[in-house]
Amino acid sequence: MSLAVAYARDGYALLEAVYDSSSPAWLREIPAVDVLRRVLLQNYTRTVTGNGREVIRRREKEPEGDGLPPGHMRIASPYDTDARWGVKRDAFWLGYKLHVSETCDDAPPCDCAAAGGGP
């Protein structure tokens, strides 16, 4: 069993405890609980076989697997749910892309003499 599947099993056990009817309702309102639930849904499938055995598998890319969500929807970091993977040439990063453009306008005229300033 891979370590990732073991983590998923622990995550599902935690969610079951949080959503149990005997658990306090405020636990379900913690933002980290929702992030955990979304990460598990995006990355793992969970089925129960005919004999009652639970099977957890990592989602794989199509056509072999059932597919992963598109990159713009997939959570890449549980610490910042808006961050995405980026790549440009040899650089890979987790974060944001920013496009900066600038214009070259003429500088405003100086009103230094009118204000009593020097030349």
3-state helix, strand, coil in the chain (%, to 5): 30, 15, 55
Neighbouring C-alpha atoms within 13 Å toward the C-beta of 72: 1
Residue 109 has pLDDT above 80, yes or no: no
Q: Is the pLDDT of residue 115 over 60?
A: no
State residue 91's pLDDT score.
Answer: 87
How far apart CA 29 and CA 46 sit, in angstroms, is: 23
What token pair was written down for 68?
Answer: 């992963």
pTM of the model as a whole: 0.66
Q: How confident is the model at residue 18 (pLDDT cuts 50, 70, 90)?
A: very high
Q: What is the mean pLDDT of residues 30-41?
A: 91
Write the pLDDT tens digit of every residue in 57-82: 888 776 776 777 777 778 888 888 88
